[in-house]
Amino acid sequence: MRWQYLFRRLALTAVTLLLVSVVTYGLILVTPGDPAKLVLQKQLGQPPTAEQVAVFRAQHGLDEPPHIQYLHWLGELLQGDMGQSYYHERSVSELLVDRLPVTLSLAAGGLAVSLAVSLPTGILSACRPHGYADHASQAVALLGVAMPNFWLGYLLVFVFSLTLGVTPVYGSGTPAHLLLPSLTLGTGLAAVQTRLLRASLRDTLDAEFVTAARTRGLGERLVVYKHALRNALLPLVTVLGLQLGFLLNGAVIVEVVFQRPGLGTLLVNAVFDRNYPVVQGVTLLAGVLFVLVNTVTDLAYERIDPRVSLGGEPA
């Protein structure tokens, strides 16, 4: 059953990525302007000669008809070659390998911040519903959802870097550089997680087995942490997988705000520079990451909750 599920998932992923690449190629086709001229103009600082354009087009396979270009790209991809960046004579896979750690560390940092915030506040809110702490955390969660992360980023820079001078402003490399971006990225996530954990823990605390545990005279602490929380965490696990999409979306903007050389800045620059092989590469990688994480989440979900069976008909 699980193999069948995995196979289905992989097939769907392959189709998704294929479609995304076709759409991207289609868009490139209908877009006015020759990337060769634009790229050369940027590199040379002056309009390129016809000969230079021809050389560039031959070098990057742009002289072939569009569908051949696409099949060519696809064929090389299947052999593990994602093509060459239009700039800096570098291969796309090299660029991706360079940038991936920067983005992954940001995503990990954001996730750590969000869990550090949402677990305690969610539990506190659920145990004392409609108390002060609950109202405060709900208000903060609401604000976290509404806050654009580009504004939050600059607010944090203003307070912590420019006014207090405790963190470096922009760039990457040291753990200190990771602090503000992680906070920025983690806040929005924390808001969603807190709301979800509160709701799911409230439901669980009303369940019969919790009442039974209480009736047996177990202490409230033991009831909440050992019995209820374990069950209430299930929905959170699923959402963590879905939130990777949110993380990737957010990472693009956060990386631009803090000028971190990650996949997000790579994609934004590539889009502006008409560096199409890089655009294709980053999109592909984002899709693979997203589906990979969601598959792992589903498998974890099945592990935690024996009632869940992947791919099978519900019993």
Contacts with another protein, residue ranges (CB under 8 A): 12-13, 15-16, 19-20, 23-24, 27-28, 31-32, 142-143, 145-151, 154-155, 157-158, 162, 192, 235, 238-239, 242-246, 248-249, 252-253, 256-257, 267-268, 271-272, 276, 279, 283, 286-287, 290-291, 294
Smallest distance from another protein to CB 226, Å = 26
Rounded Cα distance, 88 and 295, in Å: 36
Return the closest-CA partner of residue 74 out of 27, 34, 28, 17. Answer: 17
Smallest distance from another protein to CB 242, Å = 4
Give me the residue label for tokens 């009303």: 206
Smallest distance from another protein to CB 144, Å = 10
Judged by beta carbon, residue 40 or residue 248, the one nearer another protein is 248
Rounded Cα distance, 137 and 144, in Å: 10
Smallest distance from another protein to CB 212, Å = 27
Judged by beta carbon, residue 21 or residue 121, the one nearer another protein is 21
**DSSP structural state of residue 223:** I
Rounded Cα distance, 236 and 196, in Å: 7
Smallest distance from another protein to CB 13, Å = 7
Smallest distance from another protein to CB 20, Å = 7
Judged by beta carbon, residue 151 or residue 209, the one nearer another protein is 151
Judged by beta carbon, residue 96 or residue 213, the one nearer another protein is 96
Smallest distance from another protein to CB 216, Å = 32
Rounded Cα distance, 70 and 21, in Å: 9
Return the closest-CA partner of residue 184 out of 260, 124, 236. Answer: 260
Smallest distance from another protein to CB 71, Å = 20
Rounded Cα distance, 95 and 112, in Å: 26
Query: Which uninterrupted H or E stretch holds 124?
Result: helix 92-127
Tokens of 135: 């109202």
Judged by beta carbon, residue 33 or residue 80, the one nearer another protein is 33
Judged by beta carbon, residue 79 or residue 163, the one nearer another protein is 163
3-class SS letters over 11-51: HHHHHHHHHHHHHHHHHHHHCCCCHHHHHHHHHHCCCCCHH
> Residue 310 to residues 7, 200, 290: CA-CA distances in angstroms?
12, 22, 19
Judged by beta carbon, residue 17 or residue 178, the one nearer another protein is 17
Judged by beta carbon, residue 126 or residue 286, the one nearer another protein is 286
Rounded Cα distance, 304 and 302, in Å: 6
Tokens of 245: 């999409």
Rounded Cα distance, 73 and 75, in Å: 5
